[in-house]
Amino acid sequence: MESLLNSIDFQYIIGALVKTAIFWIFIMLVVAYMVYAERRVLAVIQNRLGPNRVGWQGLLQPFADLIKFIFKEDIVPLSVNKALYMMAPVIVLVPAMMVLILYPFGPSNVPIPLASTINWVVNWAGSLVGWDIGLNLTTMNLYITNFNVGLLYVFAMTSLGVYGIFIGGWASNSKYSLLGGLRSSAQMISYELSLSLSVIVILLIAGTLDLAKIVEQQSGWGGLRWNIFGGNGHWAMIPAAVIGFIVYLVSAIAETNRIPFDLPEAETELVAGFHTEYSSLKFALFFMAEYVNMTTVSVLATTLFLGGWQGPGVGSLPWLGPVYFLAKVFFFLFLYIWLRGTLPRFRYDQLMSFGWKVLLPTALFNIVFASVLAVLFL
Amino acid sequence: MDLTQIQGVHVLFLAFAALAVVAAFNIILQRNPIYSAIGLIVVLCSLAVLFLMLYAPFIAAIQIIVYAGAIMVLFVFVIMLLNVRAEDAITDRLKYLKFIAPVFFLLLVGQIAFFVSRVQNPPPPAKIPGSVESIAEGMFTSYVVPFEAASVLILMAIVGSMLLAKREKEEDIVRIEQALAEAQAGEPVIEESNEEAHA
Amino acid sequence: MVPLSWYLALSAVLFTIGVIGVLVQRNVIVLFMCIELMLNAVNLSFVAFSRFFGDVTGQLFVFIVMAVAAAEAAVGLAIIISLFRNRETLNVDEADLLKL
């Protein structure tokens, strides 16, 4: 029993399960409060009050929305393709949630707080029953897991999320849905290219696809070694990294179908696009998937460009890492909402020509430029 | 095969292999092409898991990004845009195939099992290839010529597919028909010159 | 340790299902998908051999095969689209003469 409990695999599995549960709850809260934050921040930008009735300052509004969604009538039109209609929200949501296991919240090998207390309590409880549980917890990682092709895995899950959108649009058997679904997914696969290519600059600087290692390499110098400032390479990589950052941000906003790139799902244009025929909980799942995608993209932006959980004092107080990480992620989410309140939307042909004729050549040129700089200076 | 030797890896392999085979049958047995496409996507994803089990994480990720994430999207787009409906039950001229096909398939599976059980399985070497570094090392040193040839091939495919799928514009069609009409009207000129040549 | 022969058997079975599909299917797009299934079965063989011989060449070949499959899918679907525009049918049995 002792060797089983102390074996690395068992602790890893139990730790991964516990962390997955905690992170999942965290993501659900982030998604729910993103809806609320969006409404409040948009209200401030548009010079009005947002929802401020439910609970103090409206903080219980997401729960009111959730209850409303659950009690709404679930209308399924007669002419839909039942199997695909039901599966589409799931196909969008599951790949979006699968990226959760890679979020690098904090450093690795962080001492577990109250470890000795937990050890003592569990061993004492075991001895009461007669088991000899020799529990000996020491350190944990502040992320669920990590693999050596982490970045490729994130892009793979993003590619799989495109399916739910046009399957949902097609299965709904209506003109608006089909058109919205096809346009939306065409936009997503076009901007996926510039998204992936803009990250290659970071690969040149960091030399690895592993998200935890990329963050660890950005430590020191009071934040001046973040990858957007050239990383641990050389100051000469700054222009390439900044161009990469801008291309990444623009592609990310287009990839997640947000303003200014959200023509396929705007209410005033295409009658809400591919989710026209969806109601109640399935619509809530589509919504949730969009916000989880936004969070994923923001997490990638902070990890790759802004130094992840690095910040002053993380060396001595490792639990400060998640605080910095969340601060940076919330900054990007605020940026999304800010852009929504400020910019008008692109027309669809302007959107596609921008993606193919401006962003993709910029990303390709950036790769060549960064390679030249890397050969000369790194 | 010793039943006490079954490990978790074997169970994982059998699960995803069964999923791949069932989905592959789904491709050929469904009447609606969208369901066949979904079957192929399931096959691709289970093969990606098998690649992961074979210590090829880069190939697994590339399989999902390129094959399941781009090529199959292309397929499903074409099915949706061409509005391909489910096939109606057309009269099968080859009805007897339905009955002898499973027999032949089982025969084939038996043959495969016979040969597979004779294979001397080599013990796997300790060095595990498949990290991104080793692939890059091979790709850009010994095999750089196929790599460059593949990029030229993809360029040809881009140009070729754009050209083949282009819809002819109205004014082009009109122009082509006018040219054809003029060519037919001008044929006597050619016949006269032929007669002059013969005369 | 999953023996090599299991991977090869799976690859053979998937390849056979692909061949059956190519011979039996009437819809030209599903026929194309069965060709892709055959290519994937071969990819599995390559990666299995690469693992069991410790050589990375197998995985490089899979990379090239994927690039070729992508190019072939793009051009093939373009041909199918223009075929559909001219004949209004996706049934290979009806497209067996050059005459429209």
Pick the residue of A94, A98, A149, A189 with the most B CBs within 10 A to test the interface with B by mutation.
A149
Burial A12-29 (b: 16+ CB within 10 A, else e): eeebeeebeeebeebbee
Residue B126 neighbours by CB under 8 Å, 6+ apart: C54
Question: Whole-angstrom distance between the N-terminal and C-terminal Cα of chain B?
Answer: 91
Domain boundaries in chain C?
4-94
State how far the alpha carbon of A288 is from the alpha carbons of A58, A147, A271, A332, in Å: 20, 26, 19, 17
- Nearest-by-Cβ selection for A159 from B34, B58, B70: B70
Range of the domain at A357: 76-102+147-377
Q: What distance in Å separates residue B69's CA from the closest CA in chain A?
A: 5
Which contiguous run of DSSP H or E holds residue A111?
A: strand A110-111
**A111 prior amide bond cis, ω within 30:** no
Distance CA B157, CA A148 (A): 32
Tens digit of each residue's pLDDT (9 = 90 or more) over B27-62:
988 888 999 999 999 999 999 999 999 889 999 999
Are A185 and B73 an interchain contact pair (Cβ–Cβ within 8 Å)? yes
Distance CA C74, CA B78 (A): 10
Question: Whole-angstrom distance between the N-terminal and C-terminal Cα of chain C?
Answer: 56
Residue A70 neighbours by CB under 8 Å, 6+ apart: A280, A281
Are B80 and A178 an interchain contact pair (Cβ–Cβ within 8 Å)? yes
Are A182 and B81 an interchain contact pair (Cβ–Cβ within 8 Å)? yes
Distance CA A314, CA A296 (A): 23
Would you place residue B87 in the very low, low, confident or very high pLDDT band (cuts 50, 70, 90)? low
Neighbours of chain B (3+ CB pairs under 8 A): A, C
pLDDT tens, N- to C-terminus, chain A (378 residues) = 555 555 566 777 888 888 899 999 999 999 888 888 998 999 999 898 888 888 788 888 888 888 888 888 888 888 888 888 888 999 999 999 999 888 998 888 888 777 778 777 877 777 777 766 666 677 778 888 888 888 999 999 999 989 888 888 888 888 778 888 888 888 999 999 999 999 998 888 888 888 988 888 887 766 677 777 777 767 788 888 999 999 999 999 998 888 888 877 765 565 667 777 777 788 888 888 999 999 999 999 999 988 888 888 777 787 888 899 999 999 999 999 999 889 988 888 898 999 999 999 999 999 999 999 888 886
Task: Give SS3 for A209.
Answer: coil
Domain membership flag for residue A29: no
Pick the residue of A163, A172, A184 with the most B CBs within 10 A to test the interface with B by mutation.
A163
Evaluate whether A322 touches A105 at the Cβ level (below 8 Å): yes
Token pair, residue B69, equals 């994430």
pLDDT higher than 80, residue C3: yes
Distance CA A302, CA A305 (A): 5
Closest Cα in chain B to A165: B73
Residue B104 CA from chain centroid, whole number = 25
Look at residue A83 in the predicted model and tell me its pLDDT.
Answer: 87
Q: Is the CATH number of domain C4-94 3.40.50.620?
A: no
pLDDT, greater one: A230 or C48: C48
Are C10 and B20 an interchain contact pair (Cβ–Cβ within 8 Å)? yes
Q: Which phi and psi (to 5°) does residue A373 adopt?
A: -60, -40
- Nearest-by-Cβ selection for A160 from B58, B68, B132: B68
- Nearest-by-Cβ selection for B76 from A152, A155, A166: A166
Question: Whole-angstrom distance between the N-terminal and C-terminal Cα of chain A?
Answer: 51
Which contiguous run of DSSP H or E holds residue B51?
A: helix B33-53
Question: If you ran DSSP here, which 8-state letter would residue A131 be given?
Answer: -
Burial C55-94 (b: 16+ CB within 10 A, else e): bbebbbbbbbbbbbbbbbbbbbbbbbbebbeeeeebeeee
Structural domain count of chain A: 1
Characterise B92 by phi-psi region: left (phi > 0), alpha (psi -120 to 50), beta (else).
Answer: beta
Look at residue B199 in the predicted model and tell me its pLDDT.
Answer: 47
The verdict on A162 touching B (C-beta cutoff 8 Å) is yes
Residue C16 neighbours by CB under 8 Å, 6+ apart: B105, B108
Pick the residue of B21, B47, B93 with the most C CBs within 10 A to test the interface with C by mutation.
B47
Are A155 and B61 an interchain contact pair (Cβ–Cβ within 8 Å)? yes
Look at residue A281 in the predicted model and tell me its pLDDT.
Answer: 82
Domain membership flag for residue A12: no
Which amino acid is it at A318? P
Evaluate whether A275 touches A80 at the Cβ level (below 8 Å): no
The verdict on A281 touching B (C-beta cutoff 8 Å) is no
The number of C-alpha atoms within 13 Å of A169 and in the hemisphere containing its C-beta is 27
Look at residue A134 in the predicted model and tell me its pLDDT.
Answer: 62
Q: What distance in Å separates residue C45's CA from the closest CA in chain B?
A: 10
Q: What is the mean pLDDT of chain B?
A: 82
Look at residue A269 in the predicted model and tell me its pLDDT.
Answer: 60
- Helix C4-24 and helix B33-53, axial crossing angle in degrees, nearest 10: 160
Domain membership flag for residue A184: yes
Are B61 and A159 an interchain contact pair (Cβ–Cβ within 8 Å)? no
- Nearest-by-Cβ selection for B119 from C4, C10, C60: C4
Look at residue B83 in the predicted model and tell me its pLDDT.
Answer: 78
Closest Cα in chain B to C70: B71
Task: Give SS3 for C9.
Answer: helix
Q: Which residues of C touch B126 (CB under 8 A)?
A: 54
Token pair, residue B148, equals 């460059």
Place of tokens 């709850």: A25
Domain membership flag for residue A317: yes
Domain membership flag for residue A336: yes
Token pair, residue B59, equals 């190939």
User: If contacts are CB pairs under 8 Å, which of residues 53-92 in chain B contact chain A?
Assistant: 57-58, 61-62, 64-65, 68-70, 73, 76-77, 80-81
Look at residue B22 in the predicted model and tell me its pLDDT.
Answer: 95
- Nearest-by-Cβ selection for B132 from A189, A196, A209: A209
* Tally of CB atoms within 10 A around A181: 28
Are A155 and B34 an interchain contact pair (Cβ–Cβ within 8 Å)? no
Residue B160 neighbours by CB under 8 Å, 6+ apart: C74, C75, C78
Evaluate whether A136 touches A8 at the Cβ level (below 8 Å): no
Closest Cα in chain B to A182: B77
Look at residue A222 in the predicted model and tell me its pLDDT.
Answer: 66
Look at residue B184 in the predicted model and tell me its pLDDT.
Answer: 84
Give percent helix, percent strand, percent coil of chain B, each to the nearest 5.
75, 0, 25
Cα-based torsion angle of the residue sequence B22, B26, B28, B31 in order, rounded to the nearest 10 degrees: 170
Domain boundaries in chain B?
12-87+128-142, 145-184
Closest Cα in chain B to A153: B61
User: If contacts are CB pairs under 8 Å, which of residues 114-133 in chain B contact chain A?
Assistant: 131-132
Pairing of strands A139-140, A110-111: antiparallel
pLDDT, greater one: B121 or C13: C13
Look at residue C64 in the predicted model and tell me its pLDDT.
Answer: 94
Question: If you ran DSSP here, which 8-state letter would residue B105 be given?
Answer: H
> Which parts of chain A fold into alpha helices (H)?
2-6, 8-45, 61-71, 82-98, 115-129, 150-171, 175-198, 200-206, 211-216, 238-255, 267-270, 280-304, 321-342, 348-354, 360-377
Domain membership flag for residue A15: no
CATH architecture of B12-87+128-142: Up-down Bundle (1.20)
Average pLDDT over residues B73-79: 92
Evaluate whether A144 touches A100 at the Cβ level (below 8 Å): yes
Distance CA A374, CA A10 (A): 43
| Nearest partner of B41 among A84, A226, A123, judged by Cα | A84
C and A interact (at least 3 Cβ pairs within 8 A):
no
Look at residue C75 in the predicted model and tell me its pLDDT.
Answer: 94
| Nearest partner of A304 among A195, A374, A211, judged by Cα | A211
Would you place residue C56 in the very low, low, confident or very high pLDDT band (cuts 50, 70, 90)? confident
The verdict on C21 touching B (C-beta cutoff 8 Å) is yes
Are B65 and A159 an interchain contact pair (Cβ–Cβ within 8 Å)? yes
| Nearest partner of A239 among A131, A111, A372, judged by Cα | A372
The verdict on A371 touching B (C-beta cutoff 8 Å) is no
Query: Which ipTM did the prediction report?
Result: 0.92
Query: CA quadruple A363, A368, A372, A374: dihedral positive or negative?
Result: positive
Residues for chain B: how many in total? 199
Please tell me the pTM assigned to this model.
0.87
Distance CA A47, CA A63 (A): 25
Q: How many CB pairs under 8 A join A and B?
A: 54
Q: Which residues of B touch C8 (CB under 8 A)?
A: 116, 119
